[in-house]
Copies of this chain bind each other. A is one copy, B any other.
Amino acid sequence: MSANLREPDRPESRIQRQMRSMGERARRAARVMASVEPGEKNAALFAIAEALVGDSKQILAANARDLRDARDKLDDAGLERLELTPARIERMAEGLRQVAALADPIGGITDLNYRPSGIQVGRMRVPLGVVGIIFESRPNVTADAAALCLKSGNAALLRGGSESMHSNQAIAACIARGLRAASLPSDAVQVVETTDREAVAAMLDMPGHIDVIVPRGGKGLIEFVSNHARMPVIKHLDGVCHVYIDDDADADKAIAIAVNAKTQRYGTCNTMETLLVAESVAESILVPLARDLMQTGVSLRGCVATRRLLGTDVEPASDADWAEEYLAPVLAVKIVADMDEAIEHIERWSSRHTDAIVTENLTRARAFLRAVDSASVMVNASTRFADGFEYGLGAEIGISTDKLHARGPVGLEGLTSQKYVVFGDGHVR
């Protein structure tokens, strides 16, 4: 399998060798983890939670070192993401306990049916194997991602941002202690220690050692991982989400949903970035809605009809606006003739993350649900609900806008696969 890691003629670098060795240990640990009983995994999760709380002082000291080193490199928002507090450590621990409380996803057999030949065929849910997670500055991802991988019977190779390296290592020490306390292989969760960027490239070039990669962070990271990974990637690049207010929308619901979808949080991937409004309700709904949005500090960029209706406070929108994920108090607005035009606009510009219709019309709601090809399609609800916790997955490793394997919020099930199991009594063909 090591052949995957390097070209035949190029000697392996020190970092490549180190990553390959971690990959081999992860693979061995994954084999053990696949058959571990739920109680053992949960015992490890509780032991890790306890270690985190018990080691709070050391974790905070390591984090203080990261914060000091990062002072000149990160802006305030970045430093805020990097910072750990006793409350945040307690939340990490609580997250681990919550994952322990989830139903074990592994080993369940479904659809076990007798076939005409007499064999019984079913499907057993199994771990993927080794999950690689590459993330940026939030050190809590170390604990969160480790918990999900562990619970789903996978081994994890975690590579955090260089800014959070000391915090990550302090958390990693707690994870290793918890695994040992539950008699599980400590290689089941390994944190890459080097800050060398070559380690990321080496991970992406190890399809024999890593079964799936989950990048968590900014667009630059996700693009880099998608373009270079030689194994499947669970990812979403953009969140250009739409709300379409239909002719038969209830005005109060439409305004509440659009305001919430845009303003509850500006920086999240499920925030609305483009509002589509049916011509027939532009006057009755868009006018008061635009006032509410602008009062909250949202600036609008509109199509010609929107500017004609709302006036020149609204900047003109270009194609670049339809494609843009603002992640800011800015909203693109387009007045459309009808639902068909809205669906066409979504088909062309949506990033296929989350799109919603507001309507009381059952037939159009049904048609919108079928026609819009996005990971989440909503009727009369805010796009902000597109989230693993809101969907009841219990936890979320990320959101996928891909169609194969995992789509939408990805919980424990996204870290598993199903194999066929066949039972016979000496059956032959």
Contacts and interface: CB of A to CB of B under 8 A. Distances in A.
A382 B426 CA distance: 8
A16 interface: no
Nearest to A113: B392
Contact of A252 (B119, B126, B426): B426
A35 to B, nearest CB: 5
B403 A260 contact: no
A377 B422 contact: yes
Nearest to A418: B407
Contact of A427 (B31, B376, B382, B421): B382
Interface in A376-429: 376-382, 384-386, 390-392, 403-405, 407-409, 417-429
Contacts of A369: 124, 421
Given A115-B392, A129-B403, A386 B425 contact: no
A221 interface: no
Contact of A257 (B124, B260, B374, B426): B426
Nearest to A414: B404
A264 B390 CA distance: 52
| Number of identical monomers bound together in the oligomeric complex | 2
Nearest to A212: B404
A232 interface: yes
A124 B427 CA distance: 37
Contacts of A260: 428-429
Contacts of A347: 31
10 contacts: A31-B371, A117-B385, A211-B403, A232-B404, A250-B426, A376-B419, A376-B421, A379-B421, A386-B420, A404-B417
Given A376-B420, A380-B423, A386-B422, 18 more contacts: A124-B370, A232-B232, A252-B426, A260-B429, A375-B420, A377-B419, A377-B420, A377-B422, A378-B421, A378-B423, A378-B424, A379-B422, A380-B424, A380-B426, A381-B424, A381-B427, A385-B427, A386-B420
